[in-house]
Amino acid sequence: MITGSLVALITPMTQDGHIDKPKLDALIEHHIASGTHGIVAVGTTGESATLTYDEHADVIRQVVQTVNGRIPVIAGTGANSTHEAIDLTQRAKDAGADACLLVVPYYNRPTQEGMYQHFKAIAEAVDIPQILYNVPGRTVADMSNDTVLRLCGIANIVGIKDATGDLVRGKDLIERTPDDFAVYSGDDPTAVDLMLLGGKGNISVTANIAPQAVAQAAELAIAGDADAAHKVDQTIAPLHSGLFVEPNPIPVKWAAAQIGLCEQKIRLPLTDLSDQYHETVLKALKDSGIKG
Protein backbone atom coordinates (compact mmCIF):
# COMPACT_ATOMS: atom_id res chain seq x y z
CA MET A 1 0.00 0.00 0.00
CA ILE A 2 1.28 3.47 -0.94
CA THR A 3 1.21 5.75 2.10
CA GLY A 4 2.34 9.18 3.27
CA SER A 5 2.83 12.49 1.49
CA LEU A 6 2.06 12.06 -2.20
CA VAL A 7 2.77 15.34 -3.95
CA ALA A 8 0.32 16.38 -6.65
CA LEU A 9 3.21 17.55 -8.79
CA ILE A 10 3.10 20.72 -10.85
CA THR A 11 4.15 20.44 -14.50
CA PRO A 12 6.87 23.07 -15.12
CA MET A 13 6.77 24.89 -18.44
CA THR A 14 9.14 27.12 -20.38
CA GLN A 15 8.19 30.68 -21.28
CA ASP A 16 7.15 29.53 -24.74
CA GLY A 17 4.71 27.06 -23.18
CA HIS A 18 6.51 23.76 -23.69
CA ILE A 19 7.10 21.18 -20.94
CA ASP A 20 10.31 22.12 -19.14
CA LYS A 21 11.92 18.69 -18.93
CA PRO A 22 15.08 19.71 -17.02
CA LYS A 23 12.95 21.52 -14.42
CA LEU A 24 10.70 18.49 -14.14
CA ASP A 25 13.69 16.28 -13.38
CA ALA A 26 14.93 18.84 -10.85
CA LEU A 27 11.53 18.91 -9.11
CA ILE A 28 11.53 15.13 -8.83
CA GLU A 29 15.00 15.11 -7.26
CA HIS A 30 13.95 17.91 -4.91
CA HIS A 31 11.00 15.86 -3.67
CA ILE A 32 12.96 12.67 -3.21
CA ALA A 33 15.63 14.56 -1.25
CA SER A 34 12.93 16.26 0.85
CA GLY A 35 11.30 13.03 1.99
CA THR A 36 8.17 13.05 -0.19
CA HIS A 37 6.79 9.51 -0.14
CA GLY A 38 5.34 9.40 -3.66
CA ILE A 39 4.63 11.49 -6.75
CA VAL A 40 1.29 11.99 -8.48
CA ALA A 41 2.07 12.99 -12.06
CA VAL A 42 -0.32 14.88 -14.34
CA GLY A 43 -3.20 15.28 -11.94
CA THR A 44 -5.23 18.46 -11.57
CA THR A 45 -2.21 20.30 -10.18
CA GLY A 46 -0.12 19.02 -13.10
CA GLU A 47 -2.46 20.77 -15.56
CA SER A 48 -3.76 17.55 -17.05
CA ALA A 49 -6.68 19.44 -18.58
CA THR A 50 -4.42 21.56 -20.81
CA LEU A 51 -1.73 19.06 -21.79
CA THR A 52 -2.04 17.30 -25.10
CA TYR A 53 -2.60 13.57 -25.09
CA ASP A 54 1.01 12.88 -26.07
CA GLU A 55 2.38 15.40 -23.55
CA HIS A 56 0.33 13.71 -20.83
CA ALA A 57 1.88 10.33 -21.60
CA ASP A 58 5.37 11.83 -22.02
CA VAL A 59 5.30 13.48 -18.58
CA ILE A 60 4.26 10.21 -16.95
CA ARG A 61 7.05 8.39 -18.77
CA GLN A 62 9.65 10.97 -17.74
CA VAL A 63 8.59 10.95 -14.09
CA VAL A 64 8.76 7.15 -13.96
CA GLN A 65 12.17 7.09 -15.61
CA THR A 66 13.65 9.81 -13.41
CA VAL A 67 12.24 8.37 -10.18
CA ASN A 68 13.67 5.00 -11.22
CA GLY A 69 11.92 3.04 -8.50
CA ARG A 70 13.04 5.21 -5.58
CA ILE A 71 9.48 6.18 -4.57
CA PRO A 72 6.08 5.23 -5.99
CA VAL A 73 4.68 7.07 -9.01
CA ILE A 74 0.93 7.44 -9.39
CA ALA A 75 -0.16 8.57 -12.84
CA GLY A 76 -3.24 10.73 -13.33
CA THR A 77 -5.14 8.99 -16.14
CA GLY A 78 -8.75 10.02 -15.62
CA ALA A 79 -11.03 11.35 -18.33
CA ASN A 80 -14.72 11.90 -18.94
CA SER A 81 -14.50 9.40 -21.79
CA THR A 82 -14.13 5.82 -20.59
CA HIS A 83 -12.30 4.87 -23.78
CA GLU A 84 -9.76 7.68 -23.29
CA ALA A 85 -9.26 6.82 -19.62
CA ILE A 86 -8.57 3.20 -20.54
CA ASP A 87 -6.03 4.25 -23.15
CA LEU A 88 -4.23 6.68 -20.81
CA THR A 89 -4.20 4.07 -18.05
CA GLN A 90 -2.70 1.51 -20.40
CA ARG A 91 -0.03 4.02 -21.43
CA ALA A 92 0.78 4.67 -17.77
CA LYS A 93 1.10 0.95 -17.12
CA ASP A 94 3.34 0.55 -20.16
CA ALA A 95 5.51 3.42 -18.86
CA GLY A 96 5.98 1.63 -15.54
CA ALA A 97 3.75 3.66 -13.19
CA ASP A 98 3.01 2.01 -9.85
CA ALA A 99 -0.65 3.03 -9.83
CA CYS A 100 -3.13 5.30 -11.57
CA LEU A 101 -5.42 8.03 -10.25
CA LEU A 102 -8.80 8.23 -11.99
CA VAL A 103 -11.08 11.21 -11.49
CA VAL A 104 -14.86 10.99 -11.53
CA PRO A 105 -15.92 11.86 -15.10
CA TYR A 106 -16.47 15.59 -15.40
CA TYR A 107 -18.89 17.72 -17.44
CA ASN A 108 -21.14 14.89 -18.67
CA ARG A 109 -22.53 14.28 -15.14
CA PRO A 110 -22.87 10.49 -15.03
CA THR A 111 -25.24 8.76 -12.64
CA GLN A 112 -23.92 6.63 -9.79
CA GLU A 113 -24.43 3.58 -12.02
CA GLY A 114 -22.55 5.33 -14.82
CA MET A 115 -19.63 6.03 -12.48
CA TYR A 116 -19.61 2.41 -11.32
CA GLN A 117 -19.59 1.07 -14.87
CA HIS A 118 -16.91 3.61 -15.93
CA PHE A 119 -14.44 2.62 -13.21
CA LYS A 120 -15.29 -1.08 -13.51
CA ALA A 121 -14.53 -0.97 -17.24
CA ILE A 122 -11.14 0.66 -16.68
CA ALA A 123 -10.21 -1.76 -13.91
CA GLU A 124 -11.12 -4.74 -16.05
CA ALA A 125 -9.28 -3.38 -19.08
CA VAL A 126 -5.93 -2.51 -17.46
CA ASP A 127 -4.26 -4.60 -14.76
CA ILE A 128 -2.68 -1.90 -12.62
CA PRO A 129 -3.60 -0.65 -9.12
CA GLN A 130 -6.18 2.11 -9.49
CA ILE A 131 -7.16 4.90 -7.11
CA LEU A 132 -10.52 6.61 -7.48
CA TYR A 133 -10.64 10.40 -7.24
CA ASN A 134 -13.74 12.20 -6.03
CA VAL A 135 -13.59 15.99 -6.33
CA PRO A 136 -17.16 17.25 -6.78
CA GLY A 137 -16.06 20.87 -6.57
CA ARG A 138 -14.51 20.40 -10.01
CA THR A 139 -16.44 17.57 -11.61
CA VAL A 140 -19.96 18.51 -10.39
CA ALA A 141 -20.70 14.77 -10.31
CA ASP A 142 -20.22 13.44 -6.77
CA MET A 143 -19.48 9.76 -6.23
CA SER A 144 -21.35 8.46 -3.20
CA ASN A 145 -19.73 6.37 -0.50
CA ASP A 146 -22.07 3.53 -1.46
CA THR A 147 -20.72 3.56 -5.02
CA VAL A 148 -17.16 3.50 -3.67
CA LEU A 149 -18.09 0.46 -1.58
CA ARG A 150 -19.33 -1.32 -4.70
CA LEU A 151 -16.11 -0.50 -6.54
CA CYS A 152 -13.72 -1.51 -3.76
CA GLY A 153 -14.75 -5.10 -4.35
CA ILE A 154 -12.92 -5.01 -7.69
CA ALA A 155 -9.43 -6.41 -7.12
CA ASN A 156 -7.26 -3.67 -8.64
CA ILE A 157 -9.28 -0.72 -7.33
CA VAL A 158 -7.15 -0.12 -4.25
CA GLY A 159 -8.08 3.29 -2.89
CA ILE A 160 -9.73 6.68 -3.23
CA LYS A 161 -8.57 10.27 -3.09
CA ASP A 162 -11.36 12.03 -1.21
CA ALA A 163 -11.14 15.74 -1.99
CA THR A 164 -14.46 16.67 -0.42
CA GLY A 165 -12.88 17.91 2.81
CA ASP A 166 -15.81 16.30 4.64
CA LEU A 167 -14.32 14.43 7.60
CA VAL A 168 -17.61 12.77 8.56
CA ARG A 169 -17.85 11.36 5.08
CA GLY A 170 -14.19 10.37 5.09
CA LYS A 171 -14.56 8.60 8.43
CA ASP A 172 -17.52 6.67 7.05
CA LEU A 173 -15.43 5.54 4.08
CA ILE A 174 -12.55 4.43 6.30
CA GLU A 175 -14.89 2.48 8.59
CA ARG A 176 -16.86 0.76 5.82
CA THR A 177 -14.13 -0.13 3.33
CA PRO A 178 -11.80 -3.14 3.74
CA ASP A 179 -8.49 -2.72 5.56
CA ASP A 180 -6.54 -3.11 2.32
CA PHE A 181 -8.43 -0.23 0.66
CA ALA A 182 -6.64 3.11 1.14
CA VAL A 183 -8.48 6.36 1.76
CA TYR A 184 -6.30 9.35 0.90
CA SER A 185 -7.00 12.99 1.60
CA GLY A 186 -7.18 15.37 -1.34
CA ASP A 187 -7.74 18.39 0.88
CA ASP A 188 -4.67 19.87 2.56
CA PRO A 189 -6.49 21.76 5.37
CA THR A 190 -8.17 18.58 6.66
CA ALA A 191 -5.56 16.00 5.62
CA VAL A 192 -3.94 15.49 9.03
CA ASP A 193 -7.33 14.92 10.66
CA LEU A 194 -8.35 12.39 8.00
CA MET A 195 -5.08 10.48 8.44
CA LEU A 196 -5.60 10.46 12.21
CA LEU A 197 -8.96 8.81 11.52
CA GLY A 198 -7.21 6.08 9.54
CA GLY A 199 -6.48 7.67 6.18
CA LYS A 200 -3.34 6.38 4.51
CA GLY A 201 -1.90 9.57 3.08
CA ASN A 202 -2.29 13.04 1.63
CA ILE A 203 -2.28 13.73 -2.11
CA SER A 204 -1.06 17.23 -1.52
CA VAL A 205 -0.84 20.56 -3.31
CA THR A 206 1.00 22.17 -0.40
CA ALA A 207 3.75 19.54 -0.69
CA ASN A 208 4.93 21.29 -3.86
CA ILE A 209 6.05 24.20 -1.68
CA ALA A 210 6.72 22.59 1.72
CA PRO A 211 7.58 18.95 1.01
CA GLN A 212 9.47 18.23 4.21
CA ALA A 213 6.75 19.54 6.52
CA VAL A 214 3.93 17.79 4.64
CA ALA A 215 5.87 14.51 4.73
CA GLN A 216 6.63 14.85 8.43
CA ALA A 217 3.01 15.70 9.28
CA ALA A 218 1.81 12.69 7.28
CA GLU A 219 4.22 10.32 9.02
CA LEU A 220 3.16 11.56 12.45
CA ALA A 221 -0.55 11.47 11.65
CA ILE A 222 -0.43 7.95 10.21
CA ALA A 223 1.47 6.87 13.34
CA GLY A 224 -1.34 8.34 15.44
CA ASP A 225 0.66 11.15 17.08
CA ALA A 226 -2.05 13.80 16.91
CA ASP A 227 -0.32 16.54 18.89
CA ALA A 228 2.93 16.36 16.97
CA ALA A 229 1.17 16.06 13.59
CA HIS A 230 -0.98 19.11 14.27
CA LYS A 231 2.02 21.06 15.51
CA VAL A 232 3.90 20.48 12.26
CA ASP A 233 0.80 21.09 10.16
CA GLN A 234 0.16 24.40 11.92
CA THR A 235 3.49 25.74 10.66
CA ILE A 236 2.28 25.41 7.06
CA ALA A 237 -1.39 26.23 7.63
CA PRO A 238 -0.98 29.62 5.87
CA LEU A 239 -0.11 27.71 2.70
CA HIS A 240 -3.20 25.52 2.97
CA SER A 241 -5.32 28.64 2.54
CA GLY A 242 -2.96 30.86 0.53
CA LEU A 243 -2.48 28.30 -2.23
CA PHE A 244 -6.20 28.24 -2.94
CA VAL A 245 -7.05 31.94 -3.29
CA GLU A 246 -7.65 31.22 -6.98
CA PRO A 247 -8.31 27.86 -8.67
CA ASN A 248 -5.52 25.31 -8.32
CA PRO A 249 -2.86 25.23 -9.75
CA ILE A 250 -2.72 29.00 -10.34
CA PRO A 251 -1.48 30.00 -6.84
CA VAL A 252 0.84 27.02 -6.28
CA LYS A 253 2.54 27.46 -9.62
CA TRP A 254 3.03 31.17 -8.96
CA ALA A 255 4.38 30.36 -5.48
CA ALA A 256 6.75 27.76 -6.92
CA ALA A 257 8.11 30.39 -9.31
CA GLN A 258 8.74 32.77 -6.41
CA ILE A 259 11.05 30.25 -4.74
CA GLY A 260 12.83 29.23 -7.94
CA LEU A 261 11.27 25.83 -8.55
CA CYS A 262 9.90 26.64 -12.00
CA GLU A 263 9.18 29.42 -14.45
CA GLN A 264 6.08 31.53 -13.95
CA LYS A 265 4.18 29.95 -16.85
CA ILE A 266 0.73 28.41 -16.91
CA ARG A 267 -1.48 27.47 -19.86
CA LEU A 268 -4.72 29.09 -20.93
CA PRO A 269 -7.49 29.13 -19.96
CA LEU A 270 -5.63 29.40 -16.65
CA THR A 271 -3.80 32.68 -16.15
CA ASP A 272 -1.09 33.94 -13.82
CA LEU A 273 -2.12 34.74 -10.27
CA SER A 274 -4.08 38.00 -10.11
CA ASP A 275 -2.11 40.97 -8.81
CA GLN A 276 -4.52 41.39 -5.90
CA TYR A 277 -3.40 38.03 -4.46
CA HIS A 278 0.37 38.41 -4.78
CA GLU A 279 0.82 39.74 -1.27
CA THR A 280 -1.49 37.08 0.17
CA VAL A 281 0.55 34.24 -1.29
CA LEU A 282 3.87 35.91 -0.46
CA LYS A 283 2.70 36.33 3.13
CA ALA A 284 1.75 32.64 3.25
CA LEU A 285 5.25 31.74 2.04
CA LYS A 286 6.84 33.99 4.65
CA ASP A 287 4.57 32.91 7.51
CA SER A 288 5.33 29.27 6.72
CA GLY A 289 9.09 29.92 6.75
CA ILE A 290 9.50 29.15 3.04
CA LYS A 291 10.57 32.59 1.86
CA GLY A 292 12.34 35.25 3.87
What Rg value do the Cα atoms of the chain yield, rounded?
18
pLDDT tens digit sequence for 174-205: 999 999 999 999 999 999 999 999 999 999 99
CA 269 to chain centre: 20
The band of 291, judged by pLDDT with boundaries at 50, 70 and 90, is confident
**Residue in 161, 184, 200, 253 annotated catalytic:** 161
- Domain region containing 212: 4-225
pLDDT tens digit sequence for 78-95: 999 999 999 999 999 999
pLDDT tens digit sequence for 203-222: 999 999 999 999 999 999 99
Residue 107 a catalytic site member:
no
Q: Is residue 252 part of a domain?
A: no
**Residue in 93, 116, 133, 200 annotated catalytic:** 133
Query: To the nearest 10°, the Cα dihedral for 220, 148, 85, 184?
Result: -10
pLDDT tens digit sequence for 4-63: 999 999 999 999 999 999 999 999 999 999 999 999 999 999 999 999 999 999 999 999
Residues in the chain: 292
Q: Is residue 45 part of a domain?
A: yes
Q: Is residue 206 part of a domain?
A: yes
Distance CA 283, CA 265 (A): 21
Q: How many domains does the chain have?
A: 1
CATH code for the domain of 57: 3.20.20.70
Q: Is residue 149 part of a domain?
A: yes
How much of the chain, in percent, has pLDDT values that exceed 70?
Answer: 100
Q: Is residue 232 part of a domain?
A: no
Q: Is residue 284 part of a domain?
A: no
Q: Is residue 21 part of a domain?
A: yes
Residue 161 a catalytic site member:
yes
